[in-house]
Chains A and B, each alone.
Chain A
Amino acid sequence: MGFWISLMMVGITLPVGLVILAICYPKNRQKKKIFYGIRNREEYEDESVCAKLDEICGKARKRALILTLCFAVIGVLLAVFNKIPLSMTLCTLNVFAYIMLMLVPFAFCNRDIKTLKRELSLDGDTGISFTDLQNADTVHAFRPVPFLIPLVFLLAGFCFSLMTDLKVITIDGFTSAGTFSATMMSGIFLFIGLIMLPIAYVMDRQRNQVISEDSAVNANYNRAIKRCMFGLNLAIDWCTVAAMIGMILSLLVFDAEVAILVFYGLYMAALVFAIVVYMVRMNRIELRYREETSVTVDDDDKWVFGLFYYNRNDRKLMVEKRMGIGTTVNMAHPVGKVLGAFLALALVGTLLCMVWLGMMEATPIRVYNEDGRVICHQLRDEYVIEVSGIKAVSLVDDLDKKDVVRSAGTSMPGLAKGRFIVDDEKCRFFMNPDFDLCIRIESSDWVYYISGETKEETEELYRTLVK
């Protein structure tokens, strides 16, 4: 299973990487309104400037290509050698590092082009902004009703999963009922569906762009863009509905892990497809309005590395992104600062979590009897059970995984620790679930299921406890 999971991660992330490559590192920069976070200008069509720009952009694209290649090779190697410890964590770190590192050539390229601009004395229009009076707050494409329909489906799916897991509804063959796998997955899908609603609204409310002196052109251009964004958000919602329905149906037929993997893979493929369609449509809009564009504002200086918008004089929070798709926040805005700090914390937190998970994956669990206490140790003493307080000890070799439900804690290949429920009985786990042997300890306050890293270690502890 580890091999397939690793391979699937590469299979999903590689197309995403290629989409990032196509959006952020365009080959035909001349045709783009914005490239590498820099607004395209007529001056860049000059032969000598064009050559310099081609050199800078070519270098960045080459670096991004190398990164993509490295990511794919490392991913495949991790999949092939999936027996090594930490393979899953390394796989996730590989994806994480790839996404982060892809920003680096972009930022360098942005910096180099800005340097070139300074050398050529191409001043930006710092502080200049245009507003179309006729279109202020009138051009929108967002409609809530089309969003409510998929949300109803998602809510229904979640309620159905919850009721089957709570055994309110009983369906023959729904083997994962009671494990809360379906509830958890449909809950995630429902959350994605719900979060798309404010995202779509905010994207629709972003400032209208002024590309022409003609208000009708501006209105049509912005309406076309907003319809395109609305379509993408709606497509994501419907993809989420399809993935959830498919997952619930397949849980009725297949094993839970396989179903989750298959539909996660299909879901990601559908999302990539939706983004590609969005990109093509946006490109068409840009080409359609190219000749009608007569107003441009070069505010490149307000974009730090072309990635972060920082403008103290702009009270608007959301602005259109320069790298990737969608909107980003003005980092000079108080809310933007909070969101930025939150994002940085989330990134650092994710990284620390991965390191912690990796350490748990790499550190073998130990159970031993010392000074009249059973100590369950991994990185720290997780549980200390007083031998004098033990009421009963038994060796369990027929623990059915279907009867085990995690309520809080870690459950990963080779490690199950935390609070679990076994046959409606609350208990604490500290064991390697790969071996079908563990010790059941009934103490005065808790029931423990513990095992060592090996069968021998478990049997050894059992012998000392029985004595």
Chain B
Amino acid sequence: MIIKIDEYSDTPIYQQIRNQIVMGISDGRLSAGEQLPTVRALALEMGINTMTVSKAYQMLKSEGYILTDRKNGARVRQELAQSGSLSDANLLELKRIASEARLSGVKKETLLHVIEDAYKDAKGGR
């Protein structure tokens, strides 16, 4: 799985890493139980601070996407806890996107179609 980092993005690097790993788990590029590189290895490979990677892993762990332990490093969880609802932050983000779409003149059907495609992509086209 390829992670793209944009140093000049408004989104912090740890957030970019976290987002892309979540997308990778969702679309199947990262399978359940798959081993993730160690914090040090990933930081070295990306040329960033180990604290940044550590922060991303901490977020993923607290959100229940990955498991970490000293012996085995980080792994994608075998079974993810499914709440069946969007988080407040994501709901707010979706509202912002819908508002911007409406103001840009995007029709409701088009937006729903885009969301449907994004959902399909997130399932890895399944």
> What bracket does the count of chain B residues touching chain A fall in?
20 to 34
Q: Is the CB of B4 within 8 A of A208?
A: no
| Closest Cβ–Cβ distance, residue A320 to chain B (whole Å) | 13
A444 to B30, CA, bound (A): 84
Chain B positions within 8 Å of A205 at CB level: 44
Q: Is the CB of B2 within 8 A of A133?
A: yes
Q: Out of B3, B24, B41, which one reaches A130, CB within 8 Å?
A: B3
Q: Among A99-107, A309-317, A373-381, which stretch is in contact with chain B?
A: A309-317
| Closest Cβ–Cβ distance, residue B66 to chain A (whole Å) | 12
Which of B40, B44, B47 neighbours the largest number of chain A CB atoms within 10 Å of its CB? B47
Q: Given contacts A133-B24, A313-B7, is CB(A207)–CB(B45) below 8 Å?
A: yes
When C-beta atoms are compared, the residue in chain B nearest to A129 turns out to be B5
When C-beta atoms are compared, the residue in chain A nearest to B13 turns out to be A313
A295 to B3, CA, bound (A): 12
Q: Is the CB of B1 within 8 A of A127?
A: no
Chain B positions within 8 Å of A137 at CB level: 37-38, 40-42, 44-45
| Closest Cβ–Cβ distance, residue B73 to chain A (whole Å) | 11
When C-beta atoms are compared, the residue in chain A nearest to B43 turns out to be A315
Q: Out of A127, A129, A213, A215, which one reaches B46, CB within 8 Å?
A: A129
A127 to B4, CA, bound (A): 10
A128 interface residue (CB < 8 Å to B) = yes
Q: Is the CB of B4 within 8 A of A128?
A: yes
Chain B positions within 8 Å of A363 at CB level: none
B94 interface residue (CB < 8 Å to A) = no
Chain B positions within 8 Å of A126 at CB level: 8
| Closest Cβ–Cβ distance, residue B75 to chain A (whole Å) | 13
Q: Given contacts A127-B6, A315-B49, is CB(A132)–CB(B44) below 8 Å?
A: no
A127 to B41, CA, bound (A): 20
1/0 contact trace for A171-213 toward B, CB 8 Å? Answer: 0000000000000000000000000000000000101101001
Q: Is the CB of A207 within 8 A of B7?
A: no
B36 interface residue (CB < 8 Å to A) = yes
A126 to B8, CA, bound (A): 8
Q: Given contacts A127-B6, A207-B47, is CB(A136)–CB(B42) below 8 Å?
A: yes
When C-beta atoms are compared, the residue in chain B nearest to A137 turns out to be B41
A210 to B1, CA, bound (A): 10
Q: Is the CB of A133 within 8 A of B49?
A: no
Chain B positions within 8 Å of A313 at CB level: 7, 47
Chain A positions within 8 Å of B43 at CB level: 315
Chain B positions within 8 Å of A132 at CB level: 1-3, 45
A259 to B16, CA, bound (A): 61
B48 interface residue (CB < 8 Å to A) = yes
Which of A131, A134, A135 neighbours the largest number of chain B CB atoms within 10 Å of its CB? A131
Q: Is the CB of A133 within 8 A of B47?
A: no
| Closest Cβ–Cβ distance, residue B37 to chain A (whole Å) | 4
| Closest Cβ–Cβ distance, residue A64 to chain B (whole Å) | 32
| Closest Cβ–Cβ distance, residue A140 to chain B (whole Å) | 11
1/0 contact trace for A294-314 toward B, CB 8 Å? Answer: 010000000000000000011
A135 to B42, CA, bound (A): 9
Query: Interface residues, chain B, CB within 8 Å of chain A?
Result: 1-9, 21, 24, 30, 36-38, 40-49
Can you pick out 24 interface pairs between chain A and chain B where the beta carbons lie within 8 Å of each other?
A127-B7, A127-B9, A129-B47, A130-B2, A130-B4, A130-B5, A131-B45, A131-B46, A132-B1, A133-B1, A133-B37, A136-B37, A136-B41, A136-B42, A137-B40, A137-B41, A137-B42, A137-B44, A207-B47, A210-B2, A313-B47, A315-B43, A315-B49, A316-B47
Across the A-B interface, give the 5 residue pairs with the lowest CB-CB distance, nearest first.
A137-B41, A316-B47, A127-B7, A136-B37, A136-B45
